[in-house]
Structure 1
Amino acid sequence: MATTERREDAPLLPISVAAELAGMHPQTLRQYDRLGLVQPRRTRGRGRRYSMRDVVRLREVQRLSQEEGVNLAGIKRILELEDELVQVRSENDRLRLLADPGQRIFAAGPSGDVVAVPRGTRVRRVSTTSGGALVLWRPQGR
């Protein structure tokens, strides 16, 4: 992750604000934290800090529970599977990019390592003691 977090992932909300935004009692958020349905960040004093992404997740927990009648164990499994699906799709996209020769761009570093770089990725020119530089090129015929 980059040094600056995306806004929806920034853990800024204390439990009272997150509970209000999610339409829940703060004690419910504490229970969901204990069950692992949502995992807020912690302050140095161990206080919970929620992100807007956490609030969206809490709303989804509430929807599954109230509208769909799913119990908490089922909700936990659904959320785990959804998280896993996001990771698998991301990995699949990465592998598809590497498998398509027309989409591959390669970078060679001063050490001689060659890696595929997603199209649109900027690579800085890096000087070395031997005067080498980071070089980008595309496969021939593309």
Structure 2
Amino acid sequence: MDNDRFIPVFVISVAAQLADMHPQTLRQYDRMGLVMPSRQGGKQRRYSLHDVDLLREIQLLSKEGVSLEGIKRIMALEHQVAALRSHVRELNEELSDARAYRQALEAGRVFAAGAAGDVVSLARGQRPRGRSQAIVVWSPQR
């Protein structure tokens, strides 16, 4: 699973070894906010595979001559781009739903509701699949 990459499992010494860095470097990056590991009860840092990937990316950028402040800015911008892409995906889904709704209205259909109260999109003349208990409400043709 993709979410497994975010499970904090590595103590600082293991994460440092996986990233080929000194543990003190990881502490510095934590203080700067470059990589923020989860904290265990006794304030012990726990790193995920995602954190280790970030550490490797920081190391690569650092070797290419980018300052730590520059790396911090690059990572913030990458995070912002990912958030914007996610938002665009959500907006595209909403737009698609709105278009389907408008087409349904133009076809005379008001809406179709599933048994759980969810809205079901159906093309004109199409019925719910299988033994669906969806209710389709129509308005009279113009």
TM-score, normalised via structure 1 length:
0.71
In structure 2, the residue matched to 1:50 is 47
Q: Percent identity?
A: 46
When the two structures are aligned, how many residues end up with a matched partner?
113
Contact 1:16 / 1:26 at 8 angstroms: preserved in 2? yes
Task: Show CA shifts across 1:13-63 (max 9, x none).
Answer: 000000000000000000000000000000010000000000000000000
**8 Å contact kept, 1:97–1:103:** no
Aligned to 1:84, which of 61, 66, 80? 80
Partner AA of 1:84 in structure 2: Q
Larger radius of gyration: 2
- TM-score normalised to the size of structure 2? 0.71
Question: Which aligned runs of 4 or more in structure 1 are off by greater than 6 angstroms?
Answer: none
Query: For residues 100 and 49 of structure 2, what CA distance do their matches in structure 1 show?
Result: 35
Measured in 1, the distance between the counterparts of 2:50 and 2:31 equals 18
* Residue of structure 1 in register with 2:121 after alignment: 138
Taking a change above 3 Å as real, the CA distance of residues 17 and 97 of structure 1, as seen in their structure-2 partners, is same
Q: Does 1:99 align with 2:95?
A: yes
Matches of 1:100 and 1:43, distance apart in 2: 43
Name which of 23, 33, 40 aligns with 1:36: 33
| RMSD (Å) for aligned C-alpha atoms | 2.5
1:73 corresponding residue in structure 2: 69
What 5-or-longer segments of structure 1 have no aligned partner?
A: 106-122, 126-132
Q: Which runs of 5+ in 2 are unaligned?
A: 102-113, 127-142
Aligned partner of 1:27 among 3, 24, 38: 24
